[in-house]
Structure 1
Amino acid sequence: MYPKVMPPESVKDHDVLNIIRSNKELIELLAGNWREWVIASEGKKAEHKYDRYRASDFVARRPDLIAKLLELDELKHVQIVTHPVMTNFSHQALTAISLRAGYPLIVEANARFHPDIEVTL
């Protein structure tokens, strides 16, 4: 994983995007896209819905939009995204990893978010 805080200009050099370790400029860029996608999916009523959240919380509250993120031209090379995610069983954001299906360097993966929930690929 990229060990430093990642600025937008470094994204092109890595196939892993660690949103948790991104600088404010990159988070703001992502938040702009998130806001646009949320409005497109939820309608105009959602325009101010996320105003009370920090830009870094947008991803945690709508991680389903990671797939749209990976469709952006500047991120088509990214294979793995580490990001925060809000769950029903925790009041704090947890760290999750999303990856492209068929990424050949990952043969097997599993994760445990909760004692009763296990995700295996």
Structure 2
Amino acid sequence: MAFSTPDDCRYADSHEFVRAEGELARIGVSAFAVDQLGDIVFVELPKVGASLSQGSSFGTVESVKAVEELLAPISGVIEARNEAVLASPEELQNDPYGEGWLLLVRPSEPAQIDALMDAATYSAKVDGH
């Protein structure tokens, strides 16, 4: 099954995506990862103002199957978090690239975004899983 991988996003090996939006970057979880998790029942995210360090854990997504750590695809400072997903975790399943985003971050090293996989590379990786 082919999963949605928007071209305007970059992807980490751990299945988080980053969408550059001017000076900020929106972080979420790919449609492939959401599908693998199944029914999502709980999302835990850090507070606004917290710092992310690329590759380190910044929260969890809990499904009926498992609890998965979220790993920061880039370093930066959290400017906003999606309170709607915290209140209704199913938003993450319904629209991972839209209403289901997780964090809005001010990148400390914008070049980290370019180093992530592009949509074609990520699609090839997950389609062959």
Instruction: With the length of structure 1 as denominator, give the TM-score of the two structures.
Output: 0.26
Instruction: With the length of structure 2 as denominator, give the TM-score of the two structures.
Output: 0.25
